[in-house]
């Protein structure tokens, strides 16, 4: 009787050990890969491309993937800092904030026309009287100027740094323009310049040309009066402490993406390339010059 009892208990223990979470849909027994992206544009056309990317990652990584477009830059920084997400597509400034605060790591960036670079533009309407930034600044007291999001590299940080160097701008409350506004996104900035709601606006060059290619703005209605130095493209970022095997697997998927609908989400990218932290040194310098408070370490 004692042996029978022991046998029954052994069987029960084996059944309990085998009755854990069903991993049939996830044979590698990995958790959900949580992916986030910033709202660089407000248009809904990116949603289908992101859905296809979600499916591509799930298939190639053989695990469940969820991709969410976060409402603002700060929300993504918080999520990556506290490892609430596993992978995020960030602007360079947003990435550097997360890197300085928590050690987040850039692992990939898009190629545009075969190059991993883009620029900050300052654009005006074709009807404006200014041919370059020098001419615009001579009449700055008449100018309504638009930035994008306050945390945007090309829509805020880099053009702000240029205007700080020219001693006409310190902040939204301390400047020599008629007015300064933050539109929140590059496409809104472009539309406001095209519709003459502002006189000049700062915008991501890749997004500007992508909006032109998609027919969402009319290139003939714009003058590009200033162009920054080369900026390294937006990075895909993982939280500090992400294991190298996971990083390599994610990189392999992106390096082999050829689907046009996915690539179009990233400014009409031609592919992806591995990124390194030192690629963003010039942007980090600009942040320290114009918005150093953004880089304050997080408090536990």
Task: Let me know whether 247 and 268 are in one domain.
Answer: yes
Q: Which residues touch 267 (CB under 8 Å, ≥6 apart)?
A: 110, 112, 118, 204, 206, 207, 209, 210
Same domain, 39 and 164: no
In a shared domain, residues 223 and 238: no
The domain boundary residue, chosen from 228, 244, 268: 228
Residues 255 and 204 in one domain: no
| pLDDT for position 63 | 95
- Among the candidates 169, 199, 228, a domain finishes at 228
Same domain, 265 and 172: no
For residues 2 and 246, give the distance between their C-alpha atoms in angstroms, rounded to a whole number.
49
**Domain assignment of residue 8, yes or no:** no
Residue-range definition of the domain harbouring residue 175: 120-228
Instruction: Among 194, 228, 262, give the residue marking a domain's end.
Output: 228
Express each pLDDT in 113-169 by its tens digit: 899 999 999 999 999 999 999 999 999 999 999 999 998 999 999 999 999 999 999
* CATH at 126: 3.40.190.10
β partners of residue 120: 204
Q: Are residues 212 and 180 in the same domain?
A: yes
Give start and end residues of each alpha helix (H) in 214-267.
244-255, 260-265
**Lookup result for tokens 């100018």:** 143
pTM: 0.80
Within 10 A of 295 (CB to CB), how many other CB atoms are there?
15
Q: Which two tokens stand for residue 65?
A: 């993937």
Q: What is the pLDDT of residues 180-216, one digit of tens each?
A: 999 999 999 999 999 999 999 999 998 899 899 989 9
pLDDT at 44: 57
Residue 2 pLDDT > 70, yes or no? no
Task: Please report which confidence band the pLDDT of residue 72 belongs to, taking 50, 70 and 90 as the band edges.
Answer: confident
pLDDT at 18 over 50: no
| Residue 38 sits in the same domain as residue 99 | yes
> How many structural domains is the chain composed of?
2
- Most distant pair of Cα atoms in the chain: their distance: 100
Distance spanning both ends of the chain, measured CA to CA? 58
Is residue 218 domain-shared with residue 126, that is, in the same domain? yes
Backbone angles phi, psi at 130, to 5 degrees: -100, 130
């Amino acid at each position: 009787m004692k042996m029978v009892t022991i046998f029954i208990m052994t069987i029960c223990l084996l059944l309990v050990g085998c009755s854990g979470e069903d991993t049939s849909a996830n044979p590698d027994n990995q958790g959900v890969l949580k992916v986030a992206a910033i709202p660089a544009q407000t248009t809904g056309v990116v949603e289908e491309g992101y859905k296809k990317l979600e499916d591509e990652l799930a298939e190639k990584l053989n695990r469940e993937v969820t991709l969410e477009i976060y409402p603002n830059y700060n929300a993504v920084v918080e999520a990556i800092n506290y490892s609430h997400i596993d992978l995020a597509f960030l602007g360079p400034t947003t990435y550097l904030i997360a890197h300085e605060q928590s050690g987040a790591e850039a692992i990939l960036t898009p190629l545009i026309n075969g190059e991993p670079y883009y620029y900050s533009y300052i654009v005006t309407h074709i009807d404006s009287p200014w041919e370059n930034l020098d001419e615009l600044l001579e009449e700055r007291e008449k100018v309504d100027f638009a930035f994008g999001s306050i945390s945007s590299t090309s829509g805020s940080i880099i053009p702000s740094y240029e205007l700080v160097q020219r001693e006409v701008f310190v902040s939204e409350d301390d400047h020599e323009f008629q007015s300064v506004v933050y539109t929140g996104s590059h496409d809104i900035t472009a539309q406001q310049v095209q519709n003459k709601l502002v006189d000049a606006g700062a915008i991501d060059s890749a997004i500007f040309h992508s909006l032109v290619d998609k027919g969402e703005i009319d290139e003939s209605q714009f003058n590009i009066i200033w162009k920054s130095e080369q900026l390294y493209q937006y990075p895909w970022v993982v939280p500090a402490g992400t294991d190298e095997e996971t990083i390599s697997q994610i990189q392999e998927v992106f390096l082999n993406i050829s689907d046009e609908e996915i690539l179009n989400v990233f400014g009409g990218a031609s592919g992806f390339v591995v990124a390194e932290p030192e690629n963003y040194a010039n942007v980090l310098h600009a942040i320290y010059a114009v918005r150093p408070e953004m880089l304050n370490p997080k408090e536990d």
